[in-house]
Amino acid sequence: MLRRKGLRSGYTTGACAAAAAKAAAMLLLVNMKKTGSEAEVPDSWVEVPFPDGGRRQFRIQNLRFKTEETKCLATASVIKDAGDDPDVTNGAEIRADVSIAPDHPELSNQGLGVRGSGLILRGGKGVGRITKPGLAVAIGEAAINPVPVSMIRAAVKEALLKYEIRDPDLEVTISVPDGEKIAKKTLNSRLGIIGGISILGTTGIVRPVSSEAWTATITASMDVAKAMGCGEIVLSAGRTSEKAHIKKYKLAEEAYVMMGDYLEFSLIEAGRHLFEQIHLCAQWAKMLKIAMSVPQTHVRHGAIDITKAVELLRGMGYRPRPASDEFNTAREIFDSIGSGQPQLFSRLCSAAKRYAEGIVSGIPVVTHLVSYGGDIIADSE
């Protein structure tokens, strides 16, 4: 497994699918050429090409070959290892079933391939299906993104060349046995991906604790919102903030985008998508950072400078009680304000609004401060 700054890198669902597909194709093809009765099983490791021109090896599991009345079917799977990345699909079984495609003319209209290409690709159990516009895959198709499709195609082609079989098309079905359960931990349903997870990846490699997966979801969410006709977007720092906005304003589901800590990226993307208005929801500590012009609000990029935060609030009229002049956390500042100076909350929202509008020049931004109890308690003036 790859290593980066002491953390293990892993592989995407797309890379795992490509490896499983190649292994299953090899198992099918080698047994098609046999004359004996016992199924021959290839090596438990396969190597597949990656988009960067390199090659990686994968351990193959659950190799099975069976002959049915009308066809031979080979199965192989890869257990996804995301390395040290906290990926919900880590440990998932990515399975491929491969058979010779039946000779039906209409088949080319039912899969992600055409007859004569060597591959007809389908999504099976646990692989989601697209139900909303705006994504890289058309409505009605299996949620297997373009780069994984290319990786699977290239890997299967290598199996065909290895066994010098050029005539038949192979029907490849990718499935994830626990995919529907895993998908409940993702934002797939909001994006219109129903029934399972997506087969994803642009490089084949999962970088530990990287921003790639999160920012890709932000962009995809905005693509869907735009395609669904949403004129305004709601950027939320967390689930509590999002729920508070939904409870009060009840905008369309597709209008809500979980930005997490990627404030600047999300604002730039919203500007690029030309939304008419942006709502920005966050709890106290995040909103304080935004008002202090912090583009990336995760604590690993720096804790709040409490001294500067108090100075900012003093400029807005904050007068802490003498006994509370020194604070250790942002929460202590919030508690000290309480209900005695509620106008400070609106002024803080307005400062955050000015910073956000400086990033998305020309698009109005409304900021909403969410209490620790989960209610909107102030808006920008």
- Report residue 179 as tokens: 């995919």
Instruction: Give SS3 for 129.
Output: strand
Query: Partners of 290 in the beta sheet?
Result: none
How far is Cα 224 from Cα 53, in angstroms, rounded to an integer? 32
Quote the pLDDT of residue 118: 62
How far is Cα 130 from Cα 148, in angstroms, rounded to an integer? 16
How far is Cα 210 from Cα 164, in angstroms, rounded to an integer? 41
How far is Cα 157 from Cα 166, in angstroms, rounded to an integer? 9
Which has the closest alpha carbon to 155: 31, 12, 24? 24
The stretches of the chain forming alpha helices (DSSP H) are 13-32, 146-162, 179-183, 188-191, 212-227, 239-249, 263-272, 284-291, 306-314, 330-337, 343-359
pLDDT tens digits along 362-373: 999 999 999 999
What parts of the chain have a pLDDT lower than 70?
Answer: 1-6, 33-43, 103-118, 165-168, 209-210, 295-303, 321-325, 339-340
Which has the closest alpha carbon to 171: 213, 131, 112? 112
Quote the pLDDT of residue 299: 44
* 156 backbone dihedrals φ, ψ, rounded to 5°: -65, -35
Quote the pLDDT of residue 104: 41
For residue 99, how far is the Cα from the chain centroid? 30
Quote the pLDDT of residue 295: 67
Quote the pLDDT of residue 9: 85
Contact 94, 78 (CB under 8 A): yes
- Report residue 336 as tokens: 């000290």
DSSP 8-state assignment for residue 300 = G
Contact 322, 291 (CB under 8 A): no
How far is Cα 144 from Cα 359, in angstroms, rounded to an integer? 34
Contact 273, 232 (CB under 8 A): no
How far is Cα 250 from Cα 229, in angstroms, rounded to an integer? 16
Instruction: Give SS3 for 316.
Output: coil
- Report residue 161 as tokens: 């060349």
Which has the closest alpha carbon to 212: 265, 176, 133? 265
Instruction: Give SS3 for 280.
Output: strand
Per-residue exposure over 89-117, b if at least 16 CB sit within 10 Å of its own CB, e if not: bbebbbbbbbbbbeeeeebeeebbbeeeb
Q: 3-206: which CATH topology? A: CbiD-like (3.30.2110)
Model pTM score:
0.81
Which residues belong to CATH 3.30.2110.10 in the chain? 3-206
Instruction: Give SS3 for 271.
Output: helix
Query: Partners of 94 in the beta sheet?
Result: 78
Contact 94, 126 (CB under 8 A): no
